[in-house]
A and B are shown apart, each in its own frame.
Chain A
């Protein structure tokens, strides 16, 4: 059966041009996920990305510092190019700086819980393939499902090596009056807030601007509505990014 691609095409057109807004991006991710491994979706995406890229050539070129190429090569000689199989290049320095600046204090309880649950996730994924939290939506995009919450579901889409991620979920219980769900990115012994969200009829959609390139685990806690900079409760959901390939 042929699926209707009108909506996803409309969303992908705006995304390729850089004009898609967060709400629509969440919709795109959800729509994309609902199409599964969809060759037509990939073709639409690639076609629009190519079209957008070529729009740049409508502009007259600008002179560039002639020494730049040699400077790039010189600065990289100590660190030679990575192989084809290596991960994408590191994110821009400003992203990393922003991210580090927003890091909270270490969160031992969560880190420990993350380690335990991450191990559990791997075990469950091995024993029950249908619950393995990773799907491949495209050649670059990754989708990972959170586990741990008995009700509802939450998933995140991201592109390794690129900043930003989109989370969406459904069937989630209301966290209660003046309570929200807070998203955390965990790297080593630190947790960085990715923002807070309150479900509307159980549905959440949240865009995280920060880079998650080196994040090992994503976590969700229930927090006060002021969205604290450090977690105050144990995680209710986790997603292990170290197993995403």
Chain B
């Protein structure tokens, strides 16, 4: 059971549709830091990540009706928008900008959780534990494919090239990894 019930998020979205600014601030405070982390991980630039966050939350404020609860959780929807925009930017820039930047990370497992206090304050430690736990349970080759694709914005062909694995293998690892993640996260707090 999670610490941030999805029902509460959906209630916030319902209030957002009525133009409730406090509800917007709540959604923002809860998810903007994770949105920033995701955007920054993909585009590798802090200011660009902030722009993406601003763009996404502006869209949320202007059109909260775009959220369809039949299609998933509020946080999944939000992060999907952030990821889509971040990957779009990376693709358009042909990765030149990313290479020019000082490397931010380091593999996920090696990251120092300096922000854990922030996480605690945000009330999302359980979510992080669940997702990290599910990722850690994946076979390494599947986890690598998922992380390269999602966090680095690489296409399947690019991953095949970088890892030396046949494209078909990358595709099958993508599917198997996503099935496992979906099953691991299903039914756990949304």
B59 engages A49 (CB within 8 Å):
no
Chain B binder among A74-82, A104-112, A233-241: A74-82
CA A9 – CA B174 in complex, angstroms?
10
Name the residue of chain B whose CB is nearest to the CB of A162.
Answer: B84
Interface code B175-190, partner A: CB below 8 Å = 1, 0 otherwise?
1011101100110001
Selecting from A63-71, A123-131, A173-181, the interface stretch reads A63-71
- A50 lies within 8 A of chain B by Cβ: yes
The B interface is mostly helix, strand or loop, or mixed, namely helix
A73 at the interface (CB under 8 A from B): yes
Q: When chains A and B are docked, how far (Å) is the Cα of A219 from the Cα of B84?
A: 27
User: Is the Cβ of A68 less than 8 Å from the Cβ of B78?
Assistant: no
- Known A-B contacts A54-B76, A68-B50; the reply to A21 vs B65 at CB < 8 A is no
Are A55 and B111 in touch, CB under 8 angstroms?
no
Set of chain A residues within 8 Å of B119, measured between Cβ atoms: 60-61
How far is it, in angstroms, between the C-alpha of A59 and the C-alpha of B37 when the chains are bound? 6
Interface size class of B (residues with CB under 8 A): 35 or more
Contacts of A21 in B (CB 8 A): 155-157
Cβ A59 vs Cβ B83 within 8 A: no
Contacts of A65 in B (CB 8 A): 50
- Residues of B within 8 Å of A37, CB to CB, are none
A54 with B111, Cβ < 8 A, contacts A79-B62, A81-B17, A84-B65 known: no
**B161: CB under 8 A from chain A?**
no
B169 within 8 A of A: no
- Docked complex: B46-103 residues within 8 A CB-CB of A: 46, 49-50, 53-55, 57-59, 61-66, 68, 70-73, 75-80, 82-85, 87-88, 92
A residues near B35, Cβ cutoff 8 Å: 56, 64
Task: Say yes or no: B34 contacts A13, CB within 8 Å.
Answer: no
* B162 at interface, CB cutoff 8 A: no
Task: From known contacts A56-B35, A61-B118, A69-B57, infer whether A50 and B171 are also in contact, taking CB-CB under 8 Å.
Answer: no
User: In the complex, A60 Cα to B129 Cα: how many Å?
Assistant: 11
- Chain B's closest residue to A77 (CB) is B21
Residue of B whose beta carbon sits closest to that of A66:
B29
| A89 close to B62 (CB less than 8 A) | yes
Find out whether the CB atom of B79 lies under 8 angstroms from the CB atom of A18.
no
Q: Is the CB of A55 within 8 A of B63?
A: no
Residues of chain B within 8 A of A152, CB atoms compared = none
B3 neighbours in A (Cβ, 8 Å):
none
- Which chain A positions have C-beta within 8 A of B70? 46, 139
Q: Does A188 contact B (CB under 8 A)?
A: no
B157:A52 contact, CB within 8 angstroms: no
Residues of chain B touching chain A, judged by Cβ–Cβ distance below 8 Å, are 16-17, 19, 21, 24-25, 28-29, 32-38, 40-41, 46, 49-50, 53-55, 57-59, 61-66, 68, 70-73, 75-80, 82-85, 87-88, 92, 108, 111, 113-116, 118-119, 122, 124, 127-128, 131-132, 135, 146, 149-151, 153-157, 159, 171-172, 174-175, 177-179, 181-182, 185-186, 190
Not counting A59-B34, A89-B59, a sample of 7 additional A-B residue pairs whose C-beta atoms are within 8 angstroms of each other reads: A19-B159, A20-B155, A53-B79, A57-B79, A62-B37, A63-B118, A69-B25
Chain A residues within CB distance 8 Å of chain B: 9-10, 13-14, 16-21, 24, 46-65, 68-73, 75-76, 79-89, 92, 139-140, 161-163, 209
